[in-house]
Amino acid sequence: MSLKKLPFVSSVQLARIDESHVIPTALFYEGKKPHVGRDARERCTSPELLIEDFKIELGNNDPDRLVSRSSLTNVPRRTPVGLAKDFFDETLKKINGWLASQGLPVPTRILIAEPLSLGGSELADESWLSHYRKSIKKALYGKFEEIDFMPEPFAVFQYYRYGLRHPAVAEQRKHVALVLDFGGGTFDVSVVETTKAGDISGGGVNSRPLGATSIQVGGFFINRILAEDLLFSVIGPRVEKSKVRKALTFFYEHKNADEEEMGEWSEEKRAFFKHMKVLLQEVERAKIAICNSIANWSLSADLSGIAPYPISIPVDPFDERSARGNKRLDAAKIQKVYTDRVWSEKLRDAVSRTIDRSKDDLAGQDISVVLLSGGSSNIRWLRSLLERDLKSQLVNAQILELNENFAEIVAKGLATECARRYYTGGQGDFRAVTYNRLCLLLRPDEGELERKRFRPVSENLKDDGREPKEYDEAVLLPAASSLRGLMGQPLRWKVRLSKPPKHNLNYYFMRSSFDPDDLESRHNIVETKVQTPRGAVFQQGIEIELIVREDGTAEPRFFYGKDNLRDGSSAVGNPFFMDMTFAAEEVQGETYLGFDFGTSTSACSFVSSADIQWIEERSKSANWLELAELVSELPYPAAAPLARYMSEKDALRRLDRGREAVEAMLTLSAYLVLAEHCTLAKVNSSHFKGMGHRSAGPLWAILKNCLKTARTDLPYCSALLPLTQKHLPTINQWIDQIANSKHGRSSNVDYVSFLGLLGNVIAKAFSDSCLGVFEGVTPKRFSQGSFKGLFRELRGPSQTFIHVHEYEGLVPFSDEDVYVANPKNGTAINLAPWYLWGLNASDHHSEIDLFEYDTSKPNGFIFKSVQPGGEFMISPDGQLEGTAAFISAMREREQHRDLLRGLAFSGLE
């Protein structure tokens, strides 16, 4: 399905940190100097010193009560807030450096993605989210005028609904969306209802989040299960398993200990700590590599032996010099762990429970769409498992999977929300709103549990015009109740009990549940009883008061004998944390930073008022809308420069980005027709010889010359013929104008129209084909001369490339060459040496990228990466001398190459 995208998503700026949009949430201390992200992993001298998975700890304790520990050994303090502060400080330095290089202002406001209130089998402290927000504010103190928070699944909804404008969510009709955000540390589930017009509802800009659950299960949890299974499979007979289990508990409680703390441990504990750190990091690498190699995500697929990854494991984890056992982790093992121990034991119940919580509020409506997000959603069995096990609850639901990196969705959703706040005076769609019903059950004097109707007393709650009998039993606040403007104000209800609480009152504040024994749904776990004050006078009912603070803390009080004439007496309950979004003051901002602070990875987006106005203006252009759709459909070497052009706001730089995008599309077109031209039986041409440098003029000359004599049975040449037949005069004029601009002469190029023209023709040429690379091609067992492997499509503006086909055939493809393949008819053409994959593979500081031939030098040939800044020289006397010789031959005369036939591709719908 082609996605109709609002230009906003294609224009939003994701910050580049360490040359990537997504960085590891990791720290390494070199003396007192902290390093973050990819830099931390590369500089870490020993695996046990790498700090990861510290986000959840931020909410486990009140940061105001933590005592910072100073060290005599100059090792930095390691409180969770201290770790977060160092991570934010260093990451923001890199972001501000990137902003400066782009000529962008430093943002004054920040919107942080947060988990929902944690529950599940591993119960968090009831005030976890309050502590978490307080910790983040301490870590960011003094850096922004406003610090605000947004639950991760709500950011996902905003991305699908307003940013991406996926047709299944953006249609002008009512939707009930189930949002699943599966990250590195948490699995967040929520139900969101829209109005009949498709917009969010609930009064003004408020949404209708009707149920929500968050559990501490994510990518790191999967790693733990896999690592423990591997460890127990190799430990020697002299190692007690009970001792290992005890050591594992200690490890998880101290997984980010500093060197000073480790120095106080026994040698056995230090050895175990180091072995587990190494094993978990190796399992993470293996999991990613294996999942990237899976083409068939069907639950019935036979994945035995698929993508085996060797892992070395200590036989005695308490001995630093232990002998090693070798095991192979493969796709079948990951699938079994995922389906049996992650989905069946953890995720399935969380999803089902969330849907059940929303039933009363949905009043018979079905879930209409399921939205997926989070890095762990790249493990793509989730859709099949939802369809298999929750079919009755999702009978009419369409499950959406995006053809892009799930790890970037939350950051883009934050940008979408920030842009909308600019137009709403700072009012967020999900600000100060409850996302589960707040229920209250009472038991006077150890009697029967009572489920009564509560009648609002406070004027600020009497705005729905309902009679007392119309209120739901035991419900104080329905889901999606807006508390905007009610922070710090007493909210009061009256209730009539069957008998007065003369001695004490048991109370249970619940999230969308009426069972006090359901601890996962109970708010006040620590305290459930208040003593009745002496001398209390009882009437027919009592009053309940809640004062809700900005961070969601609710302070309960119970009044006895209160009426218009008397204040009565009261008993104060223990504060608890409500399921509600953050309620900061609503102020319209000029610059926003959306920060997806994830457990495993983090990403940031930048939005300014100038950006929003610029995007809004261009959203009125049909040609601009057309480019927004092309970004995700075009092959990578054309899509990435197009995305950079669309996100560039500076007028002068935008001209350069436009020229670069045009040249990238001409490059792809020229190299494609050259490669197809070389498949002819008799090749007698030297088109490539005339291109001294990869620029618009020479590339256009190659295209015109090749297409002038192109045979009609050549599919790619035929598809590109409209460029020279229908649009020749217009393109000739634009090419001349580009040449003028490069030589300092006045020029006038309509880049939006030019890119739209080229992009549409290229998209049509690739309608049945794809650009990509073969991976892991090896001889097929028990089949003479046959090979199998993977073919990964390079589509869209950035990695990760998630479209993978299984390949079988007679050709032993290498990993470096780039091909255009047609999976339907089983053909492929080699695009080397014009495109080569991974020339920078030996540079561990850079992400592996696609390189394209750029120019010829006296001492070799220059290739440039698709992402800015990468350059590689292939010289006749270097390691790639064979490639250099082939390029030299090609530059004299085109060399014949076969059109590869009889290839079998499978694994993608």
* Joined tokens for residue 132: 């978490």
Q: From the CB of residue 75, how many other CB atoms can be counted at a distance below 10 Å?
A: 18
Render 247-263 in DSSP notation, one character per residue: HHHHHHHTTT--HHHHT
Percent of the chain with pLDDT over 90: 36
Residue 2 included in any domain? no
Report the pLDDT value the prediction gives residue 673, as an integer from 0 to 100: 93
Report the pLDDT value the prediction gives residue 447, as an integer from 0 to 100: 87
Angle between helices 219-234 and 241-253 (to 10 degrees): 150
**pLDDT reading at 272 higher than 90:** yes
Reported as a single tens digit per residue, the pLDDT across 666-678 is: 999 999 999 999 9
Residue 795 included in any domain? yes
Q: How far apart are CA 469 and CA 622, in angstroms?
A: 54
Q: How far apart are CA 772 and CA 761, in angstroms?
A: 19
Q: How far apart are CA 611 and CA 119, in angstroms?
A: 39
Report the pLDDT value the prediction gives residue 4, as an integer from 0 to 100: 40
**pLDDT reading at 908 higher than 60:** no
**Residue 629 pLDDT level (bands cut at 50, 70, 90):** confident
Mean pLDDT of 756-762: 94
Q: 819 and 697 in one domain? A: no
Mean pLDDT of 889-896: 89
Q: 592 and 555 in one domain? A: no
**pLDDT reading at 310 higher than 90:** yes
Count Cα atoms within 13 angstroms, Cβ side, for 500: 15
Highest mean pLDDT among 8-17, 155-164, 425-434, 825-834: 825-834
Residue 46 included in any domain? yes
Residue 448 included in any domain? yes
Q: 431 and 531 in one domain? A: no
Q: 878 and 807 in one domain? A: yes
The whole-chain average pLDDT of the chain stands at 83
Q: If DSSP codes are grouped into helix, strand and coil, which group holds residue 346?
A: helix
**pLDDT reading at 76 higher than 70:** no
How many residues are recorded in the chain?
909
Report the pLDDT value the prediction gives residue 31, as an integer from 0 to 100: 85
**Residue 428 pLDDT level (bands cut at 50, 70, 90):** low
- Going by C-alpha positions, the residue among 438, 482, 437, 433 that lies closest to residue 460 is 482
Report the pLDDT value the prediction gives residue 116, as an integer from 0 to 100: 79
Q: 304 and 426 in one domain? A: yes
Residue 646 included in any domain? yes
Residue 110 included in any domain? yes
Q: 887 and 876 in one domain? A: yes
Mean pLDDT of 280-296: 88
Domain boundary among 765, 789, 822: 765
**pLDDT reading at 6 higher than 80:** no
Report the pLDDT value the prediction gives residue 286, as an integer from 0 to 100: 92
Reported as a single tens digit per residue, the pLDDT across 866-888 is: 988 889 999 998 888 899 999 99
Residue entry with tokens 């040939």: 861
**pLDDT reading at 585 higher than 60:** no
State CA 349 to chain mean position distance.
23
Report the pLDDT value the prediction gives residue 619, as an integer from 0 to 100: 61
Residue entry with tokens 């999230």: 511
Contact 188, 151 (CB under 8 A): yes
* Joined tokens for residue 861: 């040939």
Q: Name the residue range of residue 484's domain.
A: 438-512+524-577
Contact 42, 26 (CB under 8 A): no
Reported as a single tens digit per residue, the pLDDT across 106-129 is: 888 899 988 876 643 343 456 788
Reported as a single tens digit per residue, the pLDDT across 684-742 is: 888 888 788 899 999 999 999 888 877 878 899 999 999 988 899 999 999 988 887 77
**pLDDT reading at 637 higher than 90:** yes
Structural domains counted in the chain: 4
Q: 371 and 329 in one domain? A: yes
**pLDDT reading at 135 higher than 60:** yes
Domain boundary among 545, 562, 577: 577
**pLDDT reading at 351 higher than 80:** yes
Q: 504 and 484 in one domain? A: yes
Q: 450 and 406 in one domain? A: no
Contacts of 210 (CB under 8 A, 6+ apart): 191, 192, 193, 357, 358, 361, 362, 435, 479, 480
Reported as a single tens digit per residue, the pLDDT across 466-492 is: 555 556 888 998 887 877 778 888 999
**pLDDT reading at 364 higher than 70:** yes
Residue 22 included in any domain? yes
Q: 538 and 406 in one domain? A: no
Report the pLDDT value the prediction gives residue 5, as an integer from 0 to 100: 42
- pTM value > 0.85: no
- Going by C-alpha positions, the residue among 566, 568, 550, 447 that lies closest to residue 558 is 568
Q: From the CB of residue 336, how many other CB atoms can be counted at a distance below 10 Å?
A: 12
Q: How far apart are CA 147 and CA 113, in angstroms?
A: 11
Domain boundary among 620, 652, 685: 620
Q: 665 and 555 in one domain? A: no
Q: Is the peptide bond before 63 cis (omega within 30 degrees of 0)?
A: no
- Going by C-alpha positions, the residue among 421, 452, 506, 492 that lies closest to residue 150 is 421
**Residue 242 pLDDT level (bands cut at 50, 70, 90):** very high
Instruction: Specify the higher pLDDT residue, 864 or 561.
Output: 864
Contact 109, 608 (CB under 8 A): no
Residue entry with tokens 């369409």: 398
Report the pLDDT value the prediction gives residue 2, as an integer from 0 to 100: 36
**Residue 848 pLDDT level (bands cut at 50, 70, 90):** confident
Q: 573 and 444 in one domain? A: yes
Report the pLDDT value the prediction gives residue 93, as an integer from 0 to 100: 94
Distances (CA, A) of 499 to 215, 306, 542, 543: 38, 67, 11, 14
Residue 518 included in any domain? no
Residue entry with tokens 């989905």: 343
Report the pLDDT value the prediction gives residue 68, as an integer from 0 to 100: 46
Report the pLDDT value the prediction gives residue 205, as an integer from 0 to 100: 40
